[in-house]
Chain A
Amino acid sequence: MSNATADQLVSKMSQHLESVHPGQDAEFTEACVPGDAIWQGDLCLKIMETVPGGMILLENPSEEDRQLVPEGGEGSRHKLASLEGVELYRPADWPNEESLVGPCFKLSKANTVTHPRHGDVKIPSGFTVGCFYQREFDAEQKRERRARD
């Protein structure tokens, strides 16, 4: 016996995808305020009041430091387009596979967070932006299992 609902749902979603344009960009505007956020895939870019306490300033960030998610294949390639005008901070324990808190950056120049598949996120000058990662239920379950073993 088929479940028309589950079937119909997946079909409806597949149809919806036909209207989606992959790689479409998004942007924060000058009118945005702390608390506003844009998700680029599984990375949340959130406007912050200030750099959170406990973060460490990278004195001389290199090109590799443009990457905002710990290395893990294509899905992790969220990168600042440039380090010009960027004050870059990181949590003391970054990278940490169990932490959902990523770097934070202050912009004195407009910048963009790029990704090979997801659309770019444009950010005007003057904003402080925190990076947060999406929870992964399966990964958390795996860690719990490993801890049990």
Chain B
Amino acid sequence: MAGPKVAVYSNIGIAGMHELTEEQKELLFAYRDERIPIALNTEETDWEAASKWIDDLYRESGKEHTSKVYARSPVEGVLFANLLRFVFFDEPKGAPTLKVLAEAMREYHKSLPRDIGEGNYPSIEDGEQLSAYKSEHHDSVRKDLIEVLMSTVKRNKKEVRSLAEDYMFSVESQRDSCTDFVHSAFFGQHEWWVPYYLFPEKHLGVKYTEKESRVLAIWDEISRVCGWWVAYDEITILVDRPLHQSLSDDLQGHNESGPAVLYGDGFRFYLLDGMRVDEQIVMRPETQTIEQINGEQNSDLRSIRIERYGWPKYLKDSNARKLDERHNEVENQLEALMESPAGDRRLLVTCPTARIFALGVPSTINTCEEAQRWLAGPAANANVIART
């Protein structure tokens, strides 16, 4: 059977097609395993090293190096960007230069703990994602940033303060800053394309130009020391790496007992098998309502909701319809084929380990016997004499 082909692209198009040898395929997997710890690194961003490599990148692009600002999370980065945009776009009389402001913001960052502590993380309402617009912690950061700005303002202080307060607490300006931040961001440790281009160079004999190779190496260095970062002409905002990240065994973002990604200011999100879910589904699944579950439009997410809620409980609470019922005397099990309001079919069955399971079966199954035959797979024709 032919192996997977690797298409290698130069900056002018496809440079060539290569079929991987068995040895190269092994190298590919080994390289992946080498890169995963870089992506999952939760040590604090090495601010100095990251600044140095980013300066090198700017230089390669023919640009001057920038002033740096450091943030604990992408959300905090947006708040910092908002302040910088206020000074840059609104140009209030008496406001400092971006360079002076950036220095003051770096001093502010130095005064902050990397982790504000679990007890201080912003809370998240059921069914919602974290909102920095409703967060006491982020409001206090906004206020702090205003004071940081004011510490650099020499004149026209009253007006600058008033304008800054309006700007920093304006939802509209923050949304603009957030959009700009996300569109301008590079992803440091999370850049997928860096290893994608490095692998052919390192292991497949692909030659880039000297400059391409040099620049790619700089991107690689950045990925090893830095979280996300945002590049502007005069300012670069660098973001810390998360405090916590977790994947499932098959490399999907996943955590059943907490956030899959958590930053030091409490910005966090929850993933199950690579699907983004809200905090309630992970941390308080039993508090979901039947309306929330049945109202879930995404069928994959609805499955996750029910799994977390518990299928037997869900079938009971959701007025599931019984399609068939029997006492399986050979295996000493009570069985009931149920259909949920959304049309999912489950075989409710007592297990010899004294538990009740709700086993999924296709919607074409109509009886308990059919369900057991489907579940048995290749053993469907076996003569079952017992179950333990």
Using a CB–CB cutoff of 8 Å, the interface residues on chain A facing chain B are: 1-3, 5-7, 9-10, 12-14, 16-17, 20, 22-26, 28, 32, 35-41, 44, 46, 100-101, 115, 117-121, 132-138, 141-142, 145-146
Contact = CB atoms under 8 A, between A and B. Distances in A.
B356 A17 contact: yes
A133 B388 contact: no
B91 to A, nearest CB: 46
A1 B317 CA distance: 10
Q: Is the interface of B mostly helix, strand, loop or mixed?
A: mixed
A118 B377 CA distance: 20
B123 to A, nearest CB: 31
Contacts of A138: 303, 307, 360
B348 interface: yes
Interface string B356-387: 10011110000000000011111101111111
Interface of B: 273-274, 300, 303, 307, 312, 315-316, 318-322, 325, 331-332, 334, 336, 338, 348, 350-356, 359-362, 374-379, 381-388
Given A9-B348, A17-B354, 4 more contacts: A13-B350, A20-B332, A37-B385, A141-B360
Contact of B388 (A12, A25, A135): A25
Nearest to B252: A146
Contacts of B331: 39
Contacts, number: 132
Given A36-B383, A118-B352, A134 B303 contact: no
B312 A46 contact: no
Interface centre among A2, A37, A120, A145 (most CB of B within 10 A): A37
A28 B386 CA distance: 9
B383 A44 contact: no
B356 A118 contact: no
B129 to A, nearest CB: 21
A41 B382 contact: no
Contacts of B374: 135
A141 B377 contact: no
Contact of A35 (B318, B381, B387): B381
A6 B313 CA distance: 10
Contacts of B378: 100-101, 132
A44 B375 CA distance: 11
B386 A26 contact: yes
A133 to B, nearest CB: 7
Given A35-B382, A38-B387, A118 B353 contact: yes
Given A26-B386, A141-B303, A12 B375 contact: no
A132 B388 contact: no
B73 to A, nearest CB: 27
Contacts of A17: 350, 354-356
Contacts of B351: 20, 41
